[in-house]
């Protein structure tokens, strides 16, 4: 009676790994590999086989014992689960350095996320072409979103503008946001947000670097063999 809709919810950690499996499997398939075991896949993904199997088991029982998984079929299943059976056009807000780099970067359209629009508040940028798309004014974002059926917005503005832009996007009907601005944004319940923040990543690395450095310093003074 309910087809596939009452699919058990997939843990967030697993959802974050599925795209990795998908990429590996797609590449392997292109290289002519038709079958893979959880262990092979785990090696490529830098994980252990048990985790891979558990992750895949949330999709259903698509493996064959003693054999492994059929690559092509698994690609199909992951794509379906991730909702990649159709394109998701995105709107980019901010036509500065980052916005231009994102629009120009192939990785968007290639992978099912074509740039459906670019908007900016800066009148001097409105009307120009970025990555083959004409920049429109932020005020028109609702029209852009609705005319293209866009549900994903990419925020590529300075931090100070991010919250305002997020509000505008949500008001326009966008339900998922990818935020490159170095600011935490608040959104209504039911809206998804992912954040990409260069400074945060570097600072995390800094922490472990610093820690390594002090561990080393400590070792220099440690009793030999104490461990």
The binder of 128, among a copy of itself, DNA, none, by C-beta within 5 to 8 A per type, is: none
Site residues for DNA, 69-98, by CB under 7 A, read: 69
For residue 65, what is the enclosing H or E element? none
For residue 214, what is the enclosing H or E element? helix 198-221
| Secondary structure tally for the chain: helices H, strands E | 9, 10
Residue 107 binds a copy of itself (CB under 8 A): yes
Distance CA 39, CA 197 (A): 32
Site residues for a copy of itself, 14-53, by CB under 8 A, read: 15-16, 18-20, 22-24, 44-46
Which strands make up the sheet holding 90-93, listed edge to edge? 129-130, 133-137, 115-120, 90-93, 152-155, 176-179, 192-195
CB of 79 or CB of 137, closer to DNA = 79
The binder of 88, among a copy of itself, DNA, none, by C-beta within 5 to 8 A per type, is: a copy of itself
The binder of 147, among DNA, a copy of itself, none, by C-beta within 5 to 8 A per type, is: none
Q: Do 91 and 153 touch, CB atoms closer than 8 A?
A: yes
Residue 60 binds a copy of itself (CB under 8 A): no
3-state secondary structure of 16: helix
Minimum Å distance from CB 147 to a copy of itself? 18
**What sections of 31-175 are H helices per DSSP?**
38-45, 49-57, 71-81, 97-104, 107-110, 141-148, 159-172
183 burial (CB, 10 Å; 0-12 / 13-18 / 19+) is middle
Residue 68 binds a copy of itself (CB under 8 A): no
Minimum Å distance from CB 131 to DNA? 35
For residue 193, what is the enclosing H or E element? strand 192-195
Residue 161 binds a copy of itself (CB under 8 A): no
Q: Which residues bind a copy of itself (CB under 8 A)?
A: 2, 5-6, 10, 15-16, 18-20, 22-24, 44-46, 81-84, 88, 90, 97-98, 100-102, 104-105, 107-108, 111-113, 151-152, 175-178, 182-186, 190, 192, 194, 196-215, 217-218
User: Which residues of the chain form contacts with DNA (CB under 7 A)?
Assistant: 11-14, 36-39, 47-51, 53-54, 56-57, 61-69
């Amino acid at each position: 009676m309910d087809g596939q809709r009452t699919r058990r919810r997939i843990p967030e950690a697993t959802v974050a790994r599925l795209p990795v499996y998908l990429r590996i499997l797609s590449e392997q398939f292109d290289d002519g590999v038709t079958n893979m075991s959880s262990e092979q896949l785990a090696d490529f993904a830098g994980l252990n086989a048990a985790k891979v199997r558990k992750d895949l088991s949330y999709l259903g029982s698509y493996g064959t014992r003693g054999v492994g998984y059929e690559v092509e079929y698994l690609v199909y299943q992951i794509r379906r689960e991730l909702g990649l059976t159709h394109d998701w056009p995105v709107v980019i807000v901010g036509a500065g350095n980052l916005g231009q780099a994102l629009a120009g970067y192939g990785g968007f359209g290639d992978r099912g996320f074509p740039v459906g629009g670019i908007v900016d508040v800066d009148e001097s940028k409105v009307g120009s072409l970025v990555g083959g798309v004409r920049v429109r004014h932020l005020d028109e974002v609702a029209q852009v979103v609705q005319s293209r059926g866009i549900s994903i917005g990419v925020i590529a503005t300075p931090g100070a503008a991010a919250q305002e832009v997020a509000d505008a996007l949500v008001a326009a009907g966008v339900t998922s946001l990818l935020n490159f601005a170095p600011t935490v944004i608040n959104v209504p319940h039911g809206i998804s947000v992912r954040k990409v923040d260069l400074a945060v990543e570097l600072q995390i690395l800094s922490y472990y670097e610093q820690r390594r450095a002090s561990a080393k310093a400590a070792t220099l003074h440690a009793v030999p063999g104490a461990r």
